[in-house]
Amino acid sequence: MAAGKYMLKVFGCQMSFRDGESLAGQLQQVGYLPTDDESKADIIVFQTCCVRESAERKIYGRINQLKGLKNNKPALIIGVSGCLAQKDRELVFKRCPHVDFVLGTHQLGKLPQVLTDLSTFRHLILVDEAGQDFESMPAVRTQGVRAYVNITYGCSNFCSYCIVPYVRGVERSRELQDIVLETKAAIEEGYPEIMLLGQNVNTYGLDLNRKGTNFVSLLKTLDSMPNLKRIRYMTSHPRDFTKEMVETVKNARSICEHFHLPIQSGSNRILSSMNRGYTRDHYLQLIDGIRVLIPGASITTDLIVGFPGETEADFADTLDLVERVQFDAAYTFMFSPRRGTKAATFNDQIPSKVKKERLKYLNTIQGRNSRMRNQLLIGQDVEVLVEGVSKNNAEMLAGRTRTNKLVHFKGSKQLSGELVTVSIKGAYTWTLHGRLVS
């Protein structure tokens, strides 16, 4: 008999979504079934993010919207897990007294135990950083044709603006054979694509101190696995990204020609203050290397505007870099001070009005560039992995090119999970429109 119904509300990056899959796996293992209807749920878990204040505010707002439901249904269990849980700990109960448990990033696998213990205790909080066995956790995958596979946990880079190393701990690589086993299982379940996840995938394996185990060897091992159609990875760090990695992608069968390489700022002064460990010239050389070796590759980035001390000249350097590189897409953010990080203590914080203006300007430039990059594909036949029926138009299918561009086209939904050829007919800022060729 089912233990009841659960609802998961996931916020944040791909890693947070992968953690959500582990939470779902544990809940289903102890007999809970998923529901999309809050009023039918016996347990609701918020898998959270705290990278920017705006995310945090939104999540607290959503948790507090459940006060009425909890009053009417006191047996409902409400939990908060992930980065915000790890950062705020007891504060979660202060801000949301109707929450029953707080589960930190290192204790993800303890959900069934928490649920048992809640029959004895009113509130529970598990946020210790001591050893957790991530390998034994079951998962229910939620990303369509894409299977997320963690390759590292945590981050040791301590970029001066970023909270991640504090809430997820220092970098720990998974054993290569564990990654291979998880990938093999995903292929056997029918997943055509895997996405390798790490805050800095390029340093994979270095902490294992095992000769020959590194990101390139991992990529080559996975590329040789039969029946795997596509490999993606996220995120690369320009300091640790190498030409050998580009060559590996070029020579591989299944590794996609998409490079997500966050630059953050085009100003050397700001990059140094961010503790990023590279210069704009180094970055531009990497881009040249990619363009020479794989001319059709797509390149995307992350950018922060309004970092403390960012002058008009620094911002002009960012705009200049954006124009030089001609990114296919960029995730752009206003700097958000995070307590506990170095940059939050810097004196020369930028007024919110200036940050907003810079973001708006940058987005206008980048939007135009994205559209122009996409328009270059008009008339070309491209390989598309079909993801299913489009979310916005039930008449259309949606899929992605190897370069990670979203394409809409007409076709049978039975094509989901298949590689097809699509002729590109129209190009917009975020999507392409095409006609199925084969």
What is the helix (H) or strand (E) element at residue 54, kind and residue range?
Answer: helix 53-64
What is the helix (H) or strand (E) element at residue 79, kind and residue range?
Answer: strand 77-82
How many residues touch ligand SF4 under the rule CB under 6 A: the total is 10
CB of 239 to ligand SF4, least distance (A): 9
In the β-sheet with 258-260, what is the strand arrangement from edge to edge?
A: 258-260, 298-305, 329-334
Query: What count of other Cβ atoms lies within 10 Å of the Cβ of residue 340?
Result: 11
Query: What count of other Cβ atoms lies within 10 Å of the Cβ of residue 394?
Result: 8
Closest to 394 measured CA to CA, from 375, 374, 408, 384: 408
- Closest to ligand SAM by CB, 41 vs 303, is 303
Binding residues (CB under 6 A) for ligand SAM: these are 13, 51-52, 161-162, 164, 199-200, 235, 237, 262, 264, 302, 304, 333, 335-336, 338
What, of ligand SF4, ligand SAM, none, does residue 165 touch, CB below 5 to 8 Å by kind?
Answer: ligand SF4
Please give the residues from 191 up to 230 whose contact with ligand SF4 meets the rule CB under 6 A.
Answer: 199-200
Tell me the C-alpha distance between 245 and 228, whole Å: 19
What, of ligand SF4, ligand SAM, none, does residue 86 touch, CB below 5 to 8 Å by kind?
Answer: none
What's the longest Cα–Cα distance across the chain? 65
- Closest to ligand SF4 by CB, 200 vs 401, is 200
- Closest to ligand SAM by CB, 3 vs 206, is 206
Q: Is 164 in the site for ligand SF4 (CB under 6 A)?
A: yes
What, of ligand SAM, ligand SF4, none, does residue 333 touch, CB below 5 to 8 Å by kind?
Answer: ligand SAM
- Closest to ligand SAM by CB, 110 vs 168, is 168
Contacts of 69 (CB under 8 A, 6+ apart): 38, 39, 76
Q: Which amino acid is at 88?
A: D
C-alpha distances in Å from residue 65, one per residue of 54, 61, 62, 91, 424: 17, 6, 5, 17, 44
What, of ligand SF4, ligand SAM, none, does residue 335 touch, CB below 5 to 8 Å by kind?
Answer: ligand SAM
Binding mask 225-264 for ligand SF4 (x = CB under 6 A): ------------x---------------------------
**β-strand partners of 148:** 195
CB of 363 to ligand SAM, least distance (A): 14
Q: Is 155 in the site for ligand SF4 (CB under 6 A)?
A: yes
What, of ligand SF4, ligand SAM, none, does residue 304 touch, CB below 5 to 8 Å by kind?
Answer: ligand SAM
Do the Cβ atoms of 84 and 92 come closer than 8 Å?
yes
C-alpha distances in Å from residue 370, one per residue of 16, 295, 344, 366: 27, 16, 32, 6
Tell me the C-alpha distance between 169 and 9, whole Å: 23
- Closest to ligand SAM by CB, 79 vs 262, is 262
* Binds ligand SF4 by CB under 6 A, chosen from 55, 96, 103, 159: 159
CB of 275 to ligand SF4, least distance (A): 8
CB of 153 to ligand SF4, least distance (A): 11
Binding residues (CB under 6 A) for ligand SF4: these are 155, 157-159, 162, 164-165, 199-200, 237
